[in-house]
Structure 1
Amino acid sequence: MNILIYSPFFYPSIGGLETIISTLAHEFTYTGHEVKLVSQTPATDLKDFPFEVIRQPSPQQLLKLTQWCDVYFQGCISLKGLWSLILIPRPLVVTHQTWYRRVDGSFGWRDYLKNFVTYLATNISVSHALAKAIPKPSIVIPNSYREDIFHEMPEISRTQELVFLGRLVSDKGANLLLEALARLRNLGITSKLTIIGSGPEEYKLHQQAKNLEILDQVNFAGIKVDHELAILLNYHQIMVIPSLWDEPFGIVALEGIACGCVVVGSEGGGLKDAIGLCGVTFPNGNIDCLTEILFDLLTHPDKLTTYKEQARSHLARHTSKAVAKAYLEVLERVI
């Protein structure tokens, strides 16, 4: 099968979508399919891939590639990458990784067009919540995680209680976690919290911790990636993902679960799909509920074992090979 992948952003650009597309392209290639990837991201180094990467193609190149492929696969809908299908029709499959709407929930003209395109495509959504938000019926295939990096390390003692991993922006809700930590302190629980990540809210969060008189309990660890990140996660018992907005999915939850953490996260959107039975969810923005859940888990550590027992079966559905196999079944069916 000749698979043409159109991903506007790709390596050396680094993000969730770029990582998922790269993983799928590798797995498609490893299973014997011919893969070519089109991207608008220019190359800044000469990194090799087991598939051909065509960067910033000319219109003639894109037409030739479209004619070559058996199926045209997009990572999220890119309107600029669809015109060649008008001249050379091919089956269109799209993996939807985010919402097609504005931050405030409204719709712009591009959002309306992208939702219209779902009627012309075979749709794959990474969570049930995302599938419900798309007008055309959608197949749910969750995202994978990098199991070669994120796994339990028995030699590491799990001596730390709480960890937050994410960009330090208001939507991620780290401020809620700090407030919950202060409330726990008033209840006699002085747990330590590691905040991994950076962003425009970092100074504000530091000041909040100082004002709440919990600065001695909080470690702002900065950015950690790959094996260094996996090692740090293995020191912790509970990962907290207190997002204020509805996450489309939540690979960070899979990374935490794989490293032996129980996850406490917001229930809105697709994050609950990523957590599964490996943790607890609470209504977005509800500090009372978050505090209650953390108090319960920290004072009854035996409950952590119950959630951790679900990890193996849950993660088996999110390996790179399992997810790629599910995608290939869809691609083969449409052609």
Structure 2
Amino acid sequence: MRILIYSPLFYPSVGGLETVVLILANEFVQQGHSVKLVSQTPAIDQDTFPFEVIRKPSPKHLLQIVHWSEIYFQPNVSLKGIWPLLFHARPLVISHNNWYLRKNGHFGWQDYLKQLITKFATNISVSHAIANHICSKSSVIPNPYEEDIFYERFDILRCQELVFLGRLVSDKGVDLLLNALAEIKALGLTPTLTIIGQGSQELKLRNQVKKLCLNEQVNFVGVKVGQELAQLLSAHQILVIPSRWQEPFGVVALEGIACGCVIVGSEGGGLSDAIGPCGVTFSNGDVKSLAKILADLLNHPNKLFKYRASAKQHLVQHQKIEVAKAYLKVFERAFH
């Protein structure tokens, strides 16, 4: 098949969606298909991908690329990228990786329009929660992770207890985790917590650590990526994902599971799909429930083995080749 991917954000832009798009494009090529990717993100150096990347094409050039394609694939609905289909009818496949809502949680006219477009597309949702959010029927295909980077390293001693990985913003709930840490400290439990990431709330969180007298337990290490990140995860027992908001999915959970961590995460949205049988969930924002779960796992470390035992089977469906195959089956149905 000749697959055109329209992804406004792409490398060198960094994010979960950009990573998933790159994984899928590479796998489509590996499995024998022709791929072109259109992006509005300018390059910082020469592209060296195994597929052609067309950046900021003119309307005429975009029409030519659409004419070349047999499948028009959008990761999330891009309203600015729909118009060429009015001139060249092609099967439209959309993967839905996020909620179609404004920041205040309300529907805007753009969101209603995006939902309308799903009625004319073949749809893929990254989690059951997103599938329920989309007003049209969709296939649920979970996101992949980079299994060549994130895997368990048995030469690294798993000697640290808790780790958080993500942006240091209010939605991610690091402050809730710190409050839970203070609660279990009152019970005599003083696990270490490594905070990986950066963000607008970092100074506030550092002050919270001081206020709660957690200085000796909490270590901010900044942004880590690639092999360095995987090695750091492999040194920890429990990855905590205490998000306030409803995560659409949660690739970070897959990365932690692959590195041998047990996951403790908020249950709302699609995060519970990503965690599966490899951890424990709690109600979003519930500090007491989070503290209770952490205390239980820290007091009974034998329970961690049960969750780790489920990792291999759970991760199979998230391997790059399997996710790409599932996408290609949807493409084939849309094409025929």
Q: TM-score higher than 0.5 here?
A: yes
Structure 1 residue 84: Cα displacement:
0.3
Q: Which runs of 5+ in 1 are unaligned?
A: none
In 2, the alpha carbon distance for the partners of 1:57 and 1:141 equals 30
In 1, the alpha carbon distance for the partners of 2:158 and 2:47 equals 37
RMSD of Structure 2 on Structure 1 (CA): 0.6
What residue identity is the alignment partner of 1:123?
N
- The match for 1:118 is 118
In 1, the alpha carbon distance for the partners of 2:167 and 2:54 equals 31
- The match for 1:33 is 33
Structure 1 residue 216: Cα displacement:
1.1
In 1, the alpha carbon distance for the partners of 2:255 and 2:54 equals 31
- The match for 2:95 is 95
Aligned length: 335
What residue identity is the alignment partner of 2:189?
I
Structure 1 residue 225: Cα displacement:
0.4
SS of structure 1 residue aligned to 2:263: strand
Structure 1 residue 103: Cα displacement:
2.5
What residue identity is the alignment partner of 1:330?
V
- The match for 2:143 is 143
Residues 47, 53 of structure 2: 8 Å contact kept: no
Structure 1 residue 104: Cα displacement:
2.5
SS of structure 2 residue aligned to 1:216: coil
Q: Percent identity?
A: 62
In 2, the alpha carbon distance for the partners of 1:96 and 1:134 equals 8
What residue identity is the alignment partner of 1:56?
K
In 2, the alpha carbon distance for the partners of 1:77 and 1:12 equals 21
Over residues 194-237 of structure 1, what are the superposed CA-to-partner deviations in whole Å (9 max), with x where a residue is unaligned?
A: 00000010000000010001111000011100000001001100
- The match for 1:247 is 247
**TM-score of the two chains, using structure 2 as the length reference:** 0.99
- The match for 1:273 is 273
Over residues 145-194 of structure 1, what are the superposed CA-to-partner deviations in whole Å (9 max), with x where a residue is unaligned?
A: 00000000001110000000000000000000000001110001011000
What residue identity is the alignment partner of 1:79?
L
Residues 2, 70 of structure 2: 8 Å contact kept: yes
- The match for 1:195 is 195
Q: Which runs of structure 2 are paired with 1:281-320 in the superposition (5 Å)?
A: 281-320=281-320
- The match for 1:67 is 67
Q: Which runs of 4+ in 1 moved over 2 A?
A: none
In 2, the alpha carbon distance for the partners of 1:208 and 1:12 equals 34
SS of structure 2 residue aligned to 1:132: helix
- The match for 1:157 is 157
**TM-score of the two chains, using structure 1 as the length reference:** 0.99
Q: Which runs of 5+ in 2 are unaligned?
A: none
What residue identity is the alignment partner of 2:330?
V
Over residues 82-124 of structure 1, what are the superposed CA-to-partner deviations in whole Å (9 max), with x where a residue is unaligned?
A: 0000111110000101000013320111111111111010000
SS of structure 1 residue aligned to 2:32: coil
In 1, the alpha carbon distance for the partners of 2:288 and 2:15 equals 32
SS of structure 2 residue aligned to 1:139: strand
Structure 1 residue 42: Cα displacement:
1.1
SS of structure 2 residue aligned to 1:280: strand
- The match for 1:14 is 14
In 2, the alpha carbon distance for the partners of 1:47 and 1:163 equals 35
In 1, the alpha carbon distance for the partners of 2:104 and 2:254 equals 27
In 2, the alpha carbon distance for the partners of 1:122 and 1:82 equals 14
- The match for 2:211 is 211
- The match for 2:46 is 46
Structure 1 residue 43: Cα displacement:
1.1
What residue identity is the alignment partner of 1:190?
T
In 1, the alpha carbon distance for the partners of 2:102 and 2:79 equals 16
In 1, the alpha carbon distance for the partners of 2:212 and 2:266 equals 23
- The match for 2:321 is 321
In 2, the alpha carbon distance for the partners of 1:265 and 1:2 equals 39
In 1, the alpha carbon distance for the partners of 2:56 and 2:195 equals 38
- Whether 2:85 is the aligned partner of 1:85: answer yes
In 2, the alpha carbon distance for the partners of 1:104 and 1:284 equals 18
Structure 1 residue 47: Cα displacement:
3.1
Over residues 251-306 of structure 1, what are the superposed CA-to-partner deviations in whole Å (9 max), with x where a residue is unaligned?
A: 00000000000000000000000000000000000001000000000000000000
What residue identity is the alignment partner of 1:83?
W
In 1, the alpha carbon distance for the partners of 2:82 and 2:103 equals 24
Structure 1 residue 49: Cα displacement:
0.7
What residue identity is the alignment partner of 2:213?
E
Structure 1 residue 20: Cα displacement:
0.6
Residues 191, 217 of structure 2: 8 Å contact kept: yes
